[in-house]
Structure 1
Amino acid sequence: MNQLHAMRVFVRVAETESFRRAAQQLEVSNALVTRSVAMLEAHLNTRLINRTTRNLSLTEAGLRYLQGCRCVLEELDHLESSVAQTESEPSGTLRVIAAGAASPAALTPLIGGYRRLYPRVNVRLTLAEGPVDLVEDGFDVGIVGATPARDGAFVERALGTTAFVPCASAAWLADHGEPCTPAQLAQCPAVTLPPEERSTTWQLARPGERAQQVTLQPGYAVNNVLMVRLGTLAGMGVAILPAPLVADDLAAGTLRRLLPDYEIDDPDTRMCIVYSSRQYLPAKTRRFVDYAVEHFDHACAGTAAANATPSSLQADSTGSPIRPMSVA
């Protein structure tokens, strides 16, 4: 027995005081209405309606049950209406975790643009530098590095590539000279994420040439990319950082791009968005995924421009010449 359906039939019979009129309004047969009420009475082991050949009336139990049915059905209708409204107009809290190539500077316009479209959704963003477990940590969606192995329970959509640039502060370069080759860059003290969280080995290549592997030597390792930027600005060594994160520093001359003829081609620079593959994805998550893909598609041109940011104009922020690093 479909008890909710039987409850609706019973309420309609009670309100119309007629099996026939209830059947007409519900657009079902008289037999179905009669059978539904009979099954409900059998389930409750209680008579709900007194029947005669001329009219019907509710028993005392029927009156109590009618009141309860109305409360249950009204609450159910309200719940279904609110869920349907949520699907058409996303709301609630969206929990996002970002790691790997996802630069904080690139995430801010993404979250801001999404919330302008869907102001009823509150976003809770967590930044991580190590491995991410969406289910274990209770996140709706992750923006992470594109790795070849991923649990089949998740859907992965590519977002593009974050440009990374080798850089150092103008003050550090004035004291130590500028590395002119990947090998010289590898000899410099570096500011990095902890090696156990993010490999310090990168692939650098000039157009048309085979990539050269460079392993940075962390003189200072910290588990937050924002702190890596601050350490680099403080002259603690060279670093390889997301271009959006240091775009203003490069423009101001407080950081300088190194090895401008080289580009970084590394799997860890590729981003994807990951979310549960369950069939009924909440609207807030589905809309965020679609918006993120579109947002980063539009940002591709900006990524290419950032990767081509001029670096060493062979002068620091004071106008003094930057000397090349001496070859050992």
Structure 2
Amino acid sequence: MDQLYMLRAFVAVAQHRSFSKAAASLGVTTGSISKAIAKLEESIQTLILHRTTRSVSVTDAAQSYYLSCCRLLEELDEANRRIAQEREIDSGRLRLVVHPMLVNKTFSRLLSDYQAIAPNVNLMVSVREEAVNLYDGHFDMAILPPHLVEQSGVIRRTLSRSRHIFVAAPGYLERCGTPEAASDLASHFLLLDPASKQKGTNFIDLLETGKRMSVLPMSSMDGNEVLLRAAALTGTGIATISEAMVREDIAAGHLTHILPQCSTSESGAEVCLFYSHRELLPVRLRTFVDFCIDFFRSLPGPIPNAMAAIPQRLDRDVDHALTTV
């Protein structure tokens, strides 16, 4: 009989204090466990288990032997896991879901840089706006705002935070003028996130130099940030949008940041990396986690805020294991 199997049988019986439970844990019959224990005792010429009608326990003579077997099996299992991980790093599938607001030049660079360090990983990217549950088997990881992920039992790591700012195309500002104060927005066509509107009205809530106020725009259009950015780039109106999404457009001169003292949100837009809480995360996923955190840390900082400094990133080593209370 396999020596390793006999040791596993012994440890299982000692841990479960039951032959039947040990058999169930190893996926074998109770008779097979009994034979393994008998063979092991014969091999080492020592009684290793006390058996009664109610319980099973390790004999005094076998206590140190039991601890040695536990260490041996743990080291062997860890070696098996490690070699499996090393084999897995160069291959396998990684299914990633991202929010549409992330699909820009920066995200293209993230993909190309990751593929350079993991050329044999099959990266499958889906772009979605709806809520995601990482335990339904469709995705391994998500880069999304927190409210779009079912968070019980997953790991959440904040990649970036950026405030909502006002931007417009230079052509629009030449045609319609540049607002100098929040009250000037009333005479402009605004491109808005529906969440910025007061419920049941067309008023928008915003902050100006830290003070809350409401503005009723002459005309407006609402939609997701992808739509708002596209409309702003064509000169449709003034958009309120997360700074991270339009940073490249501002740098290139396609959009102009206006009203730096104003924002439609105190907290700003947060983007997080989510992955399921597993005892042993596959190496290809762990590599992607570390890569993402390093990549976002290397990005330029936010546009200076006239109201206050808003943190752009959290420390890379902070993990939040979220569980249902």
8 Å Cα contact 1:192-1:220 kept in structure 2: yes
1:145 corresponds to: 145
8 Å Cα contact 2:169-2:255 kept in structure 1: yes
1:183-208, CA deviations, whole angstroms, 9 ceiling, x for partnerless residues?
Answer: 33365322345x3xx655665453xx
Q: 2:301 aligns with which of 300, 303, 319?
A: 303
Instruction: Work out the CA distance in 2 between the residues paired with 1:135 and 1:214.
Output: 42
Structure 1 position 109 matched with structure 2 position 116: no
Q: CA deviation at 1:161?
A: 1.0
Percent identity of equivalent pairs? 25
RMSD (CA atoms): 4.1
Instruction: Work out the CA distance in 1 between the residues paired with 2:268 and 2:305.
Output: 19
8 Å Cα contact 1:101-1:145 kept in structure 2: no
Instruction: Work out the CA distance in 2 between the residues paired with 1:215 and 1:95.
Output: 43
Q: CA deviation at 1:167?
A: 0.8
Instruction: Work out the CA distance in 1 between the residues paired with 2:263 and 2:196.
Output: 18
What TM-score results when the alignment is normalised by the length of structure 2?
0.57
Aligned CA distance change for structure 1 residues 187 and 98 (closer, same or farther; 3 Å): farther
2:10 corresponds to: none
What runs of 5+ residues in structure 2 fail to find an aligned partner? 7-38, 44-79, 198-203, 307-325
Q: CA deviation at 1:307?
A: 4.5
| Equivalent position amino acid for 2:189 in 1 | P
1:79-130, CA deviations, whole angstroms, 9 ceiling, x for partnerless residues?
Answer: 989844334x242221111228646344223222222211111222222234
| Equivalent position amino acid for 1:181 in 2 | A
Instruction: Work out the CA distance in 2 between the residues paired with 1:202 and 1:122.
Output: 44
| Equivalent position amino acid for 2:283 in 1 | A
8 Å Cα contact 1:146-1:271 kept in structure 2: yes
8 Å Cα contact 1:103-1:242 kept in structure 2: no
Instruction: Work out the CA distance in 2 between the residues paired with 1:215 and 1:131.
Output: 31
2:239 corresponds to: 239
Structure 1 position 230 matched with structure 2 position 230: yes
Q: CA deviation at 1:149?
A: 9.0
2:49 corresponds to: none
1:8-44, CA deviations, whole angstroms, 9 ceiling, x for partnerless residues?
Answer: xxxxxxxxxxxxxxxxxxxxxxx55999xxxxxxxxx
What runs of 5+ residues in structure 1 fail to find an aligned partner? 7-30, 36-78, 310-328
Count of paired positions: 235
8 Å Cα contact 2:156-2:273 kept in structure 1: yes
Q: CA deviation at 1:169?
A: 1.5
Aligned CA distance change for structure 1 residues 80 and 155 (closer, same or farther; 3 Å): closer
1:119 corresponds to: 119
Instruction: Work out the CA distance in 2 between the residues paired with 1:191 and 1:276.
Output: 36
Instruction: Work out the CA distance in 2 between the residues paired with 1:102 and 1:289.
Output: 17
Instruction: Work out the CA distance in 2 between the residues paired with 1:139 and 1:307.
Output: 36
Instruction: Work out the CA distance in 1 between the residues paired with 2:226 and 2:168.
Output: 15
Aligned CA distance change for structure 1 residues 159 and 180 (closer, same or farther; 3 Å): same
Aligned CA distance change for structure 1 residues 254 and 114 (closer, same or farther; 3 Å): closer
Whose radius of gyration is greater, 1 or 2?
A: 1
8 Å Cα contact 2:133-2:150 kept in structure 1: no
Instruction: Work out the CA distance in 2 between the residues paired with 1:214 and 1:3.
Output: 78
